[in-house]
A and B are shown apart, each in its own frame.
Chain A
Amino acid sequence: MELSESSRQEIDRLIATCRTRREAIVQVLEIVQRGQGYVGDEAVSYVANRLGVGRADVEDVLSFYPVYHRRPVGRFVVKVCRSLPCAHMGAARVVDHLSERLGVAVGQTGGDGRFTLLEVECLGACDRAPAMMINDDVFGPLTPERIDAILASLKDG
């Protein structure tokens, strides 16, 4: 597992602020995923060893929290909010439109590894419904035209 030096340092700094070994699990997994895009089996072992906890503890946490990806995802992870305000304002159409434009079904990653399309619960952007999040950025209110423009503006790398 290739974890960058900066991720390792971030993990070390974090652990220094933790009161128990377990405490760091959720946070360290976030750092791992931010660095690698996902948390693979090797990463699970790494985290378990680094924190001195069991693999079971790590898997337990991983499976409970939906933000972690257990497999590689696209460079752009597109999360469409499906909770009430967004659903009401057309979230299902947003998903359809994205799915068609990206050639990717919900829950899947495209063959070129660029996009992963996901439906998620409330993003806290209800005033911009229907909304979506691409990596760290929130977009909304979405229309088909706006979605196309956003997709066109995404830059790899």
Chain B
Amino acid sequence: MSDVRLTIDDREVVVPEGTTILEAARSVGIEIPHFCYHPGLSAPSNCRMCLVEVQGQDKLVPSCATAVADGMVVRTGTPRVHESHRSVMEFYLSNHPLDCPVCDQAGECVLQDYSYGWGSATSRFEETKVTQPVKDVGPDIVLYADRCIMCTRCVRFLREVSGTGELSVIHRGVRSEIHVAGDRPVTNPLAGNIVDICPVGALCSKDFLFKCRVWWLTSTASACPRCARACSIRVDSSEGRILRIKPRENAAVNGMWICDEGRFAFRQWHGAGRLDVPLVNGDRGFTHCDWDEAIALAARSLRQVAMRYGGESVAFIGSPWATIEENMLLARLFVSLGATMGSLWPAPAESPQRFPGFEISGEKAWNVAGARRTLMDVAGQLLTLDRLADEIERGRVRAVYALGGAYRGALVPCDDLGLELLEFFAIQTCFVTDKGLKANLILPGASPYEKVGTVRNERGVLQEVNAVMSPPGQARRDWDILMALAKALAATVDDDLTRAVLDRPAAQWNYTRSASGNE
């Protein structure tokens, strides 16, 4: 495709043929106001907010639906364009309930934002507003139809991206409304995205509704732990509590969307059953102990096994829920003790879910690829759990140290592992239910939302993850636990590694470069 050269607001812009004026303007940082346009959807140009002046054309043109042409001269800020914006805003606000004080969208509402630029403090509208009902749209979505501006983003998303088509426009003219077609609620796995793309407070998440004013939220960029796609997300929290999760745009990973499982995955790690204190398994079953005791026990037990049977009798199990750094630290630590056998917990496998505009991975952990490759790189080989069970049964492995960190109830594939044959088994994990693992020692680790590090998704894309909150109670970040263990073992941890992890962004560390030749 050839390039097109045009002028926007006296600036020379070069974009590929077929680009719209709106996108061309965006590419040089000129934002043309719009409601219906969304980069992930078709452009119906129905809101008429993005009209701009093109030299030689009588009428203003919709910049979202007009392709650039060579030599085109576009002006986005002339009096005529501003007048058009003001006019469209007046039409919108004439029929809008203006209930910002009780609207969830306030603070991140496009209509509200634009009304600062092109709104009017007084209304000339003396007529009766068309009232519309509040509608139940789905298990987590409610529609305040009064606030709807009929941009049809939601309808288009459900037709074009999820392909499920639950919503449509019914009636016409000023009585047009968004309709739950055939009374079939919006339950598809991508449903939550329609709340995100609604430019006003019409579609709201029931889960988030009235919980917090958006300006009190702290936003943290991270990746979604739910599946191997590891979608780029923004975690919005307040006072250490996650209140909602939204997608971040990332063409290499998730485009613009996330699935509802990922959106609400934080519930799988938080709430009841979180481990918040080290547990030691003794004569009276599991009892609490303090960290010094726990780390000392682990170090003592591992050293004893290594001395008695040789370093190779100590094995480690990495985790697809742990970061690359955590897996690497685990592997390097144990390799430095003489360990040669390592394995990796498998991620729960489901069928992938494919939609016209999105795909959800069937591998239900974010760092499957990153963990596997890291462990391989350090240990040189990686045993399957079956092989590890063999080695345990033959008595060649006498102690195992594992990273866990799975969501509630996910880490149970070890019934056949023969853990009871071991002299020592310790695991860093999140849930009390993981006591079923018959470990000697259970160390309370961090959930994906409490970690800092890097993950690698199934397509090989590295992403930073950031901590939204601290681990509960005495629980610690897994990196910190491993460092404490290393210290107790008097093992030297590679300085490079430590520094790399501390000098984030880790996505640029040397590991990436050294490993890149393998693919």
Q: Is A59 engaged at the interface, CB distance under 8 Å to the other chain?
A: yes
B502 to chain A, nearest CB (A): 54
Alpha-carbon separation in the docked complex, A43 to B170 (Å): 18
Alpha-carbon separation in the docked complex, A55 to B180 (Å): 10
Alpha-carbon separation in the docked complex, A57 to B166 (Å): 10
Q: Is B168 engaged at the interface, CB distance under 8 Å to the other chain?
A: yes
Which of A42-63 touch B at CB < 8 Å? Answer: 44, 54-57, 59-60, 63
The residue on A at minimum CB distance from B170 is A63
Query: For residue B285, which residues in chain A have a CB less than 8 angstroms away from its CB?
Result: none
Q: Is B167 engaged at the interface, CB distance under 8 Å to the other chain?
A: yes
B169 in complex: contacting residue of A44, A54, A60, CB < 8 Å: A60
The residue on B at minimum CB distance from A65 is B172
Determine whether the beta carbon of A54 is less than 8 Å from that of B172: no
Determine whether the beta carbon of B181 is less than 8 Å from that of A60: yes
The residue on B at minimum CB distance from A59 is B181
A56 in complex: contacting residue of B166, B171, B172, CB < 8 Å: B166
B364 to chain A, nearest CB (A): 30
Which of B134-182 touch A at CB < 8 Å? Answer: 165-172, 179, 181-182
The residue on A at minimum CB distance from B171 is A63
Which of B448-490 touch A at CB < 8 Å? Answer: none
Query: For residue B166, which residues in chain A have a CB less than 8 angstroms away from its CB?
Result: 56
Query: For residue B182, which residues in chain A have a CB less than 8 angstroms away from its CB?
Result: 44, 54-56, 59
A55 in complex: contacting residue of B167, B171, B172, B184, CB < 8 Å: B184
Determine whether the beta carbon of A59 is less than 8 Å from that of B179: yes
A119 to chain B, nearest CB (A): 16
Determine whether the beta carbon of B181 is less than 8 Å from that of A55: yes
Determine whether the beta carbon of A64 is less than 8 Å from that of B181: no
Query: For residue A56, which residues in chain B have a CB less than 8 angstroms away from its CB?
Result: 165-168, 179, 181-182, 184
A51 to chain B, nearest CB (A): 14
Alpha-carbon separation in the docked complex, A83 to B182 (Å): 34
The residue on A at minimum CB distance from B183 is A55
A63 in complex: contacting residue of B165, B179, B184, CB < 8 Å: B179
Alpha-carbon separation in the docked complex, A57 to B155 (Å): 11
Query: For residue B179, which residues in chain A have a CB less than 8 angstroms away from its CB?
Result: 56, 59-60, 63
B169 to chain A, nearest CB (A): 6
B194 to chain A, nearest CB (A): 14
Number of interface residues of A (CB under 8 A): 9
Alpha-carbon separation in the docked complex, A63 to B170 (Å): 5
Determine whether the beta carbon of A54 is less than 8 Å from that of B181: yes
B43 to chain A, nearest CB (A): 20
Query: For residue B169, which residues in chain A have a CB less than 8 angstroms away from its CB?
Result: 60
Query: For residue A63, which residues in chain B have a CB less than 8 angstroms away from its CB?
Result: 170-172, 179
Most buried by A among B166, B170, B179: B170
The residue on B at minimum CB distance from A41 is B182
Determine whether the beta carbon of B172 is less than 8 Å from that of A57: no
Query: For residue A60, which residues in chain B have a CB less than 8 angstroms away from its CB?
Result: 168-170, 179, 181
B253 to chain A, nearest CB (A): 30
Alpha-carbon separation in the docked complex, A142 to B460 (Å): 78
B346 to chain A, nearest CB (A): 38
Query: For residue A44, which residues in chain B have a CB less than 8 angstroms away from its CB?
Result: 182
Which of B277-301 touch A at CB < 8 Å? Answer: none
Alpha-carbon separation in the docked complex, A59 to B170 (Å): 7
Which of A7-60 touch B at CB < 8 Å? Answer: 44, 54-57, 59-60
A157 to chain B, nearest CB (A): 35
The residue on A at minimum CB distance from B179 is A59
B350 to chain A, nearest CB (A): 26
A80-115 Cβ-contact flags toward B at 8 Å (1 or 0):
000000000000000000000000000000000000
Alpha-carbon separation in the docked complex, A55 to B166 (Å): 9
B172 to chain A, nearest CB (A): 5
The residue on B at minimum CB distance from A62 is B170
A64 in complex: contacting residue of B165, B172, B184, CB < 8 Å: B172
The residue on B at minimum CB distance from A63 is B170
Most buried by A among B168, B171, B184: B168
Alpha-carbon separation in the docked complex, A133 to B244 (Å): 57
The residue on B at minimum CB distance from A48 is B182
B59 to chain A, nearest CB (A): 26
Query: For residue B170, which residues in chain A have a CB less than 8 angstroms away from its CB?
Result: 59-60, 63-64
Alpha-carbon separation in the docked complex, A150 to B165 (Å): 47
Alpha-carbon separation in the docked complex, A55 to B181 (Å): 7
The residue on A at minimum CB distance from B180 is A56
Alpha-carbon separation in the docked complex, A60 to B169 (Å): 6
Alpha-carbon separation in the docked complex, A156 to B193 (Å): 55
B181-218 Cβ-contact flags toward A at 8 Å (1 or 0):
11010000000000000000000000000000000000
A2 to chain B, nearest CB (A): 22
B69-87 Cβ-contact flags toward A at 8 Å (1 or 0):
0000000000000000000
Alpha-carbon separation in the docked complex, A56 to B171 (Å): 13
Query: For residue A54, which residues in chain B have a CB less than 8 angstroms away from its CB?
Result: 165, 181-182
Determine whether the beta carbon of A64 is less than 8 Å from that of B167: no
The residue on B at minimum CB distance from A55 is B182
Alpha-carbon separation in the docked complex, A44 to B166 (Å): 15
A12 to chain B, nearest CB (A): 24
B318 to chain A, nearest CB (A): 46
Most buried by B among A56, A59, A64: A56
Alpha-carbon separation in the docked complex, A57 to B168 (Å): 8
A42 to chain B, nearest CB (A): 12
A18 to chain B, nearest CB (A): 20
Alpha-carbon separation in the docked complex, A56 to B165 (Å): 7
Alpha-carbon separation in the docked complex, A56 to B166 (Å): 7
Alpha-carbon separation in the docked complex, A44 to B172 (Å): 19
Query: For residue B181, which residues in chain A have a CB less than 8 angstroms away from its CB?
Result: 54-56, 59-60
Among all A-B residue pairs, the 9 with the closest Cβ atoms: A56-B181, A55-B182, A63-B170, A60-B168, A56-B168, A63-B171, A56-B165, A54-B165, A64-B172
Q: Which residues of B line the A interface, CB within 8 A?
A: 165-172, 179, 181-182, 184
**Given A54-B181, A59-B168, 10 other A-B residues pairs in contact with their CB atoms under 8 A:** A55-B184, A56-B167, A56-B179, A57-B168, A59-B170, A60-B168, A60-B169, A64-B170, A64-B171, A64-B172
Pairs across A and B, CB under 8 Å, 7 listed: A54-B181, A54-B182, A59-B170, A60-B181, A63-B171, A63-B179, A64-B172
